[in-house]
């Protein structure tokens, strides 16, 4: 009994000390209300994350455009030389991100743009919409001050913002992001170039080394390959994007055009531009309201530019032609009537006489379509020249891929 009373007495003496210690541990030095910590998402994007934008500017070292900054952290420093640490938890799109900064002045309001550690492979793999919850915890001088949560929607990597209207009514063009879908580094391209050489339209690819005529021949070789591949026109520009502030376009990646053999105007532009960039040519995408077409310089000094209406590849499908060919090398009469208009009268006569081999017929058709594609937008392009020259005109834009590479990297 005596031993019990001794222990009880000790507890009675230690209890006030323990309570005092607990109170000191739970005591807060900084008032979270006065610190007013907050994390916000750029209101221009209307609560939506576009993986295409993040991937496109990921390799840019000069700082992304101001209207493309995504997250902003703001707070008021409660002490001089306070050390801020913000921990942002991982999401399906990002790893744990830590921002640490010093705030020299007490009572000063500071803003920071955290460099989110994105999961780039996950962003590229996104082909449907979803939700990401960002949780940010604020520490000042190692004291936990506040926690904020931010719920955002994310879109498919195929979805490219064209223009966004801010809460103040201002219009921001993001058409420059089209250049991110041009991918001269795609692993498919080397094998495609080998196949094109095997077609014997050109013996090899030399870029600008042999003059303007050879430049056009190389582009024609791409054209002939697209016809042989059977790339057809298919418009899938609409998306389920819920934002009333965004004008967006769904764009197929290079391998999606190749594998599906389908492309709309912008898809086909980025497909051809990717091949051109690979061999050193300088493509330009001209964007008008509801349409896009391709241009390419025929010389390094950019004195002459040729145009190409890429959707014309869908006017004739060589794989379909092949399916209508009999064992004597002749097309059935009904199908022949649909492609006859793309042959000269001399070629039509030679074909009727059995003197025009099938492969030469395809080459003749390809040349006719290529010439039409080169002329198709010429008058319209001249008429809209002043609009393209006006950099403030968001509806008409001249997207020089080589120049835009300083800002936008291939999305892959």
The architecture that CATH gives domain 32-154 is Sandwich (2.60)
- By the 8 A CB rule, do 176 and 405 touch? no
Mean per-residue pLDDT over the chain, rounded = 90
Strand partners, 143: 140
Whether the Cβ atoms of residue 163 and residue 393 lie closer than 8 Å to each other: no
Other Cβ atoms within 10 Å of 62 Cβ, number:
8
- Cα 397 to Cα 36, 39, 162, 171, 385, distances in angstroms: 42, 34, 11, 14, 10
CA angle 187, 190, 194 (to 5 degrees): 150
Question: For position 3, what pLDDT does the model report?
Answer: 47
- What element of type H or E holds 297? strand 291-297
Q: In this predicted model, what pLDDT tens digit does every residue of 181-211 receive, in sequence order?
A: 999 999 999 999 999 999 999 999 999 999 9
For residue 1, what are its two tokens?
């009994």
pLDDT at 171: 86
pLDDT in tens, 393-404: 888 999 999 999
Contact present, 372 and 312 (Cβ < 8 Å): yes
Which of the residues in the chain have pLDDT under 70? Answer: 1-27, 60-67, 236-244
Instruction: Give the domain ranges of the chain.
Output: 32-154, 160-404
Burial of 33 (0-12, 13-18, 19+ CB in 10 A): exposed
- φ, ψ at 95 (rounded to 5°): -90, 175
Name the token pair of 355: 């003197």
What Rg do the C-alpha atoms of the chain give, in angstroms? Answer: 31
Do residues 116 and 55 touch, judged by C-beta distance below 8 A? no
pLDDT of residue 221: 97
């Amino acid at each position: 009994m005596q031993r019990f009373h001794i222990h009880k007495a000790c507890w009675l003496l230690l209890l006030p000390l323990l309570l005092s210690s607990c109170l000191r541990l739970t005591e807060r030095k900084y008032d979270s209300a006065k610190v007013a910590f907050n994390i916000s998402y750029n209101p221009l994007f209307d609560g939506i994350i576009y993986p295409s934008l993040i991937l496109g500017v990921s390799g840019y070292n000069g700082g992304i455009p101001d209207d493309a900054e995504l997250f902003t952290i703001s707070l008021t420093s409660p002490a001089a030389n306070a050390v801020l640490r913000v921990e942002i938890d991982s999401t399906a799109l990002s790893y744990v991100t830590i921002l640490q900064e010093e705030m020299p002045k007490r009572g000063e309001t500071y803003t920071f743009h955290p460099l989110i550690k994105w999961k780039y492979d996950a962003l590229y793999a996104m082909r449907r919409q979803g939700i990401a919850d960002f949780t940010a915890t604020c520490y000042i001088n190692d004291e936990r001050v506040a926690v904020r949560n931010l719920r955002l929607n994310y879109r498919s990597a195929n979805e490219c913002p064209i223009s966004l209207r801010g809460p103040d009514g201002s219009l921001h063009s993001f058409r420059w992001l089209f250049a991110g879908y041009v991918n001269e580094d795609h692993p498919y391209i080397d094998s495609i170039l080998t196949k094109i050489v095997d077609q014997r339209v050109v013996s090899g690819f030399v870029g600008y080394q042999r003059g303007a005529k050879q430049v056009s021949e190389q582009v024609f070789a791409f054209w002939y390959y697209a016809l042989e591949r059977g790339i057809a026109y298919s418009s899938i520009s609409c998306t389920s994007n819920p934002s009333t502030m965004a004008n967006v376009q769904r764009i197929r990646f290079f391998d999606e055009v190749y594998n599906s053999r389908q492309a709309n105007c912008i898809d086909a532009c980025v497909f051809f531009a990717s091949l051109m960039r690979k061999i050193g040519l300088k493509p330009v995408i001209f964007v008008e309201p509801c349409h896009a077409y391709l241009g390419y310089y025929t010389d390094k000094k950019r004195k002459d530019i040729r145009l190409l209406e890429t959707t014309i590849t869908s006017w004739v499908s060589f794989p379909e032609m092949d399916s209508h060919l009999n064992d004597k090398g002749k097309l059935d009469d009904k199908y022949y009537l649909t492609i006859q208009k793309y042959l000269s009268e001399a070629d039509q006569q030679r074909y009727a006489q059995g003197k025009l081999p099938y492969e030469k017929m395809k080459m003749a058709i390809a040349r006719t379509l290529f010439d039409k594609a080169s002329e198709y937008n010429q008058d319209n392009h001249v008429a809209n020249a002043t609009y393209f020259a006006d950099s403030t005109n968001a509806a008409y834009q001249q997207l020089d891929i080589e120049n835009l590479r300083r800002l936008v990297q291939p999305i892959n």
